[in-house]
A and B are shown apart, each in its own frame.
Chain A
Amino acid sequence: MKLIPDLIKKITDNEIWKSVFRHGYTDTPRNRVLQIISNVWLHLHPAKVREHGTKIRFTWCMGGITFFIFLFETITGILLMFYYVPDVNRAYADMVDLMYVVPFGRFLRNSHRWGAHAMVITVSIHMLRVFLTGSYKPPRQFNWVLGVILLVLTLLLSFTGYLLPWDQLGYWAITVGTNMARATPLLGHEGPFAYILGMRADNDIRFALLGGTTIGAPALLRAYVWHCIAIPVIASGLMMMHFWRVRKDGGISGPL
């Protein structure tokens, strides 16, 4: 039975393989380190971490899972973009097509939808755990601030996506949500003290958000662009900062 070892040797002991994988996988401390630092994705991690930081009972793994769901949403979201056009005459029909015509379309849409809800839940649990371990205390104050912004962005991501199906549920949910903007003090035309700045329905902050006085074609396009491009880009940038700071602030917090 030398077949398999021989085969493995054939596959791995040549120039092509070695140009991709720079080190072997004999379980040595050296290879464990190389495994992390020679991989562009894994070197997000330090080669060694304090033991409690690897414990699920400490981090609940919620930050990592939130990030993972973000990636999951990116992939399912890109696939959905192949089938969806943010045009008021088409959007709803595209949804119906996804549900009934596109192969695995329903499955795809469901995954994206439930993933979005899951991400809101996991990010809020992550915040709870960070609070309970006091991990926002020095030197990690600023990473908490970044986190709060990420929390808001997560909610906005989900919120802007809600309008896209262009069905009654999304339409009225976004109506209720954006109606709040007209009550903004000073800046919304029904808000307190709006007369000082001369706010009307067609020049206040809600108008700026929707690109109109009601939710119509411009609002759908705006929701789409924010949802698929602007917020994901901003959130990705902030996540990079967030992870960078976890390491620069001394790795996962822990008892001294």
Chain B
Amino acid sequence: MEVRAESKGLVEFKDDRVFTWPTLVAKEFLAAIFVTVGLLFYSYVVDAPLRELSNPGQAENPAKAPWYFLGLQEALVYFDPWFAGVALPSLIIVGLILIPYLDINPKGNGYYTFKERKFAVSVFVLGYIYWYVLVYIGTALRGPFWAFFWPWEKWTHDFPTPPPLHSMPLPLGIILMMGFYFAGLVLPAMINRDFFNKLGIVRYVLTMGLLLTMIGTVIKMVLRLSFSIKYIIATPWINI
């Protein structure tokens, strides 16, 4: 044991600390000034919107939520309100909260890296972009009656009637939905056993369940846009 103790040299303690004053405080101060000037300048040039007095008898068309919720309002096109307006945002919040407990990869703690955490970074960044793409569509590309208009098109009230929608037969819908989650849970675990083993069953199911739900919303949109599918699962109680 003596040998080991000897071979263990002194650990070099790297002190990379600098004085907060002025290094950090000066930057914060500058940032505060820039933000203030920027906001005041913008406020001087652009007026905040103020429309007519509210009138419960005359709905705005389109009536839009504040822009940061327009991704969810856009999801309303494809999903029932209980999902787009309640379940989906709740899942997003829960999913975000769970991130630190699901991602147990010890690498990439405190520095930028893509290589050491490809899966985590790709999923998060894609989800982030997805959110803002929906926000953009909801904000800029939706006109009266929530009809779709390209940026170069003029918003009009006479647009072609959208094609009629139809739902999948219930048994087919249930099979597809179960198949989707089943395959999505089982296949990655089989192909990448290492990934599964590292996470353990609980984390794995939560991670993949959330991810599959995110992908599922995209699939539903594609189904709607290309095959006019209204619901995948339609029951008298709940529709998805």
A residues sitting closer than 8 Å to B (CB atoms) are 29, 32-33, 35-36, 42, 45-54, 56, 61, 64-65, 68-69, 72, 92, 95-96, 99, 106-107, 109-115, 117-118, 120, 127-128, 131-138, 140-142, 144-145, 148, 151-152, 155, 158-159, 162, 165-173, 175-177, 179-185, 188, 190-193, 214-215, 253-256
Give the chain B neighbours of A138 by CB distance below 8 A. Answer: 100, 106, 109
A169 interface neighbour in B17, B20, B47, B49, Cβ under 8 Å: B49
Give the chain A neighbours of B119 by CB distance below 8 A. Answer: none
Q: Looking at A32, A132, A162, A181, which has the most chain B CB atoms within 10 Å of its CB?
A: A132
- Bound: A256/B49 CA distance, A: 49
- Bound: A20/B124 CA distance, A: 49
Interface members, chain B 73-90 (any A CB < 8 Å): 73, 80-82, 84-87
Q: Mark B194-205, 1 if CB is under 8 A from A, else 0.
A: 000000000000
Whether A69 pairs with B35 at a CB distance below 8 angstroms is yes
Give the chain B neighbours of A144 by CB distance below 8 A. Answer: 97, 99-100
B179 to chain A, nearest CB (A): 23
- Bound: A9/B154 CA distance, A: 69
Q: Looking at B42, B85, B99, B121, which has the most chain A CB atoms within 10 Å of its CB?
A: B85
B60 interface neighbour in A50, A51, A106, A172, Cβ under 8 Å: A172
What is the chain A residue whose CB lies nearest that of B239?
Answer: A192
Whether B124 pairs with A131 at a CB distance below 8 angstroms is yes
What 10 A-B pairs are tightest by C-beta distance, nearest first? Answer: A180-B85, A183-B81, A171-B54, A141-B100, A110-B43, A113-B48, A253-B110, A172-B63, A134-B108, A137-B109
Whether A192 pairs with B237 at a CB distance below 8 angstroms is yes
Whether A48 pairs with B17 at a CB distance below 8 angstroms is yes
Given contacts A134-B109, A159-B66, contact A166 B21 (CB under 8 A): no
B27 interface neighbour in A56, A113, A193, Cβ under 8 Å: A56
The answer to the question of B152 belonging to the interface, with a C-beta cut-off of 8 Å to chain A, is no
Whether B52 pairs with A173 at a CB distance below 8 angstroms is no
- Bound: A168/B58 CA distance, A: 9
The answer to the question of B13 belonging to the interface, with a C-beta cut-off of 8 Å to chain A, is no
Whether A132 pairs with B19 at a CB distance below 8 angstroms is no
Whether A68 pairs with B19 at a CB distance below 8 angstroms is no
The answer to the question of B2 belonging to the interface, with a C-beta cut-off of 8 Å to chain A, is no
Whether A176 pairs with B87 at a CB distance below 8 angstroms is no
